[in-house]
């Protein structure tokens, strides 16, 4: 089977900042190189999330990650883990009850 090529959703621009973002300065904190679960991993995630919290493009970053789940399948994006992003997408897609 040929490899699948992934494309970003075109109407949501990739987050761009005029200053270097923390994830570019310290990619080792944002992209796991192994299974997560140790205290060291949890500390790393906490540090990455903390750095995201002051990022000037956090809103655009979250939008991009949520609409491009295959391209943002791993790592910390906008202070969220993959599991948290999956939960957010489910919440967003949940039908809203309009009857009273």
Residue pair 92/58 in contact by the 8 Å Cβ criterion: no
Which of the residues 17 through 36 are near ligand SF4 (CB under 6 A)? 21-23, 30
Which listed residue (51, 66, 72, 85) binds ligand SF4 by CB under 6 A? 51
Residue pair 29/79 in contact by the 8 Å Cβ criterion: no
Q: What is the DSSP string of 6-41?
A: P---TTSPPP--SS--HHHH-HHHHS-SS---SHHH
Is 4 or 41 the residue whose CB approaches ligand SF4 more closely? 41
Could you tell me the smallest distance in angstroms from the CB atom of residue 84 to ligand SF4? Answer: 13
Which of the residues 56 through 95 are near ligand SF4 (CB under 6 A)? 57-58, 61, 76-78
**Residue 81 to residue 27: CA distance in whole angstroms:** 14
Residues interacting with ligand SF4, by CB under 6 A? Answer: 15, 21-23, 30, 51-52, 55, 57-58, 61, 76-78
């Amino acid at each position: 089977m040929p490899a699948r090529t992934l494309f970003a959703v075109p109407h949501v621009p990739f987050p761009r900042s005029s200053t270097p973002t923390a994830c570019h300065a310290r990619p080792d904190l944002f992209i796991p190189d192994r299974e997560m679960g140790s205290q060291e991993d949890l500390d790393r995630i906490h540090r990455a999330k903390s750095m995201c919290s002051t990022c000037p493009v956090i809103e655009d970053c979250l939008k991009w990650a949520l609409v491009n789940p295959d391209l943002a399948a791993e790592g910390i994006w906008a202070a969220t883990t993959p599991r948290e992003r999956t939960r957010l997408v489910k919440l967003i897609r949940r039908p809203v009850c309009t009857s009273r």
